[in-house]
């Protein structure tokens, strides 16, 4: 079981690594400030450097590189602030994630590349969920419900859970094949990408809890696999359940999921 000290040490090591990666990228990326104006729906970029202004053609590679530089600069500031707080002994900090910075960026910097996220040790949440991944291929005939986003799932309640994550702005992968720390492979119903959370989190929704065979074959077996791998229900894995007769209290389910996301971000 992790102690608070071990968790803090891991966070510090992770932030130091990110800081070093950011500093390395800043040595390679060009300097300058971008400004964008829009005319008839088309963006026009200008570069400000050494008190001079230059018009940039849309295909100029410096536009992308300067957008990337801005993300790295802002990420470095955030990482440095968190690192300082942790090294001083503070434990009450929200995990840092550069994806959350994008909303506050000026228009000229709204489109950093996916590659720059990877280069500084983060995941680009804009593209993560739609990138190819290993997914459960068993029983494709039971994928009968289409979500509002076009994803095929196995039940209406699973579709509702997809909407809960979508509404919360949390990307997720459905039935992704994930390897547990002990090497066992499972396909959790949902693998949400929670901002600032380093290790994968898993969400299993258990229906048919009135069926003893399902309870034994699915729920208890999966729970035991997670426990044997050192993953704790309620922390590393969220289990949610259908009620009697397959009924689900959706507002309560939404609260349970959002509370768990908040817990994961602050643990």
Half-sphere exposure of 200 (CA within 13 A, CB side): 17
Instruction: Please work out, in degrees rounded to the nearest 5, the angle formed at the alpha carbon of residue 8 by the alpha carbons of 2 and 11.
Output: 110
Rounded to an integer, the average pLDDT of 62-66 is: 97
Characterize the bridge pairing of strands 172-174 and 52-56.
Answer: unpaired
- 214/100 same-domain check: no
- 8/60 same-domain check: yes
Between 10 and 254, where is the model more confident?
Answer: 254
- pLDDT at 34 (0 to 100): 96
Characterize the bridge pairing of strands 178-179 and 185-186.
Answer: antiparallel
Q: Distance of CA 46 to CAs 35, 43, 50, 105, 246, Å?
A: 5, 10, 13, 16, 58
Among the candidates 122, 155, 173, a domain finishes at 122
- 230/163 same-domain check: yes
- 148/259 same-domain check: yes
Alpha carbon distance 165, 189 (integer Å): 13
- 144/34 same-domain check: no
pLDDT tens-digit readout, 214-245: 888 889 999 999 999 999 999 999 999 988 88
Residue 91 has pLDDT above 70, yes or no: no
- 70/22 same-domain check: yes
Rounded to an integer, the average pLDDT of 197-201 is: 84
Residue 4 has pLDDT above 90, yes or no: no
What does the block give as tokens for 87?
Answer: 């090294």
What CATH number should be reported for the domain holding residue 212? Answer: 3.40.960
121 near 23, Cβ under 8 Å?
Answer: no
- pLDDT at 1 (0 to 100): 47
- pLDDT at 2 (0 to 100): 55
- pLDDT at 80 (0 to 100): 95
180 near 186, Cβ under 8 Å?
Answer: yes
Give the percent of the chain with pLDDT over 90: 74
Among the candidates 91, 122, 153, a domain finishes at 122
Count of beta carbons in the 10 Å neighbourhood of residue 187: 18
Inside any domain, residue 252 = yes
Rounded to an integer, the average pLDDT of 62-69 is: 98
pTM of the model: 0.83
- 30/107 same-domain check: yes
- 169/250 same-domain check: yes
For residue 167, give its domain range.
140-266
The DSSP code for 137 is -
- 18/79 same-domain check: yes
Count the domains in the chain.
2
**Cβ neighbours of residue 113 closer than 8 Å, sequence gap 6 or more:** 64, 67, 68
Among the candidates 87, 122, 157, a domain finishes at 122
Instruction: Please work out, in degrees rounded to the nearest 5, the angle formed at the alpha carbon of residue 264 by the alpha carbons of 233 and 208.
Output: 40
Alpha carbon distance 24, 43 (integer Å): 30
Rounded to an integer, the average pLDDT of 178-206 is: 92
Residue 90 has pLDDT above 80, yes or no: no
**Cβ neighbours of residue 181 closer than 8 Å, sequence gap 6 or more:** 229, 230, 231
What does the block give as tokens for 2?
Answer: 């992790």
- The 3-state DSSP class for residue 188 equals coil
Inside any domain, residue 128 = no
Residue 138 has pLDDT above 80, yes or no: yes
- pLDDT at 168 (0 to 100): 95
- pLDDT at 20 (0 to 100): 97
63 near 57, Cβ under 8 Å?
Answer: no
Instruction: Please work out, in degrees rounded to the nearest 5, the angle formed at the alpha carbon of residue 160 by the alpha carbons of 156 and 161.
Output: 120
């Amino acid at each position: 079981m992790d102690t608070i000290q071990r968790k803090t040490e891991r966070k510090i090591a992770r932030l130091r690594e990110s800081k070093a990666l950011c500093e390395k990228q800043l040595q390679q990326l060009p300097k300058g400030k971008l400004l964008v104006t829009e005319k008839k729906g088309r963006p026009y970029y200008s570069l400000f450097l050494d008190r001079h202004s230059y018009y940039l053609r849309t295909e100029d590679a410096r536009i992308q590189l300067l957008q990337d530089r801005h993300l790295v600069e802002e990420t470095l500031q955030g990482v440095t602030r968190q690192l300082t707080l942790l090294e001083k002994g503070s434990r009450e900090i929200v995990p840092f994630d550069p994806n959350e910075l994008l909303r506050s960026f000026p228009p000229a910097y709204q489109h950093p590349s996916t590659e720059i996220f990877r280069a500084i040790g983060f995941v680009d949440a804009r593209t993560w969920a739609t990138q190819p991944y290993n997914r459960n291929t068993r029983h494709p005939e039971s994928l009968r419900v289409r979500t509002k986003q076009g994803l095929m799932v196995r039940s209406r309640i699973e579709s509702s859970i997809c909407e809960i994550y979508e509404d919360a702005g949390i990307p997720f992968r459905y039935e992704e094949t994930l390897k547990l720390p002990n090497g066992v492979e499972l396909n959790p119903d949902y693998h949400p990408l929670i901002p600032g959370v380093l290790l994968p989190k898993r969400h299993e929704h258990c229906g048919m809890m009135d069926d003893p065979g399902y309870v034994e074959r699915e729920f208890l077996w999966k729970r035991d696999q997670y426990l044997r791998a050192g993953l704790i229900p309620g922390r590393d894995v969220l289990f949610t359940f259908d009620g009697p007769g397959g009924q689900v209290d959706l507002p309560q389910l939404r609260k349970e999921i959002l509370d768990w996301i908040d817990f994961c971000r602050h643990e």
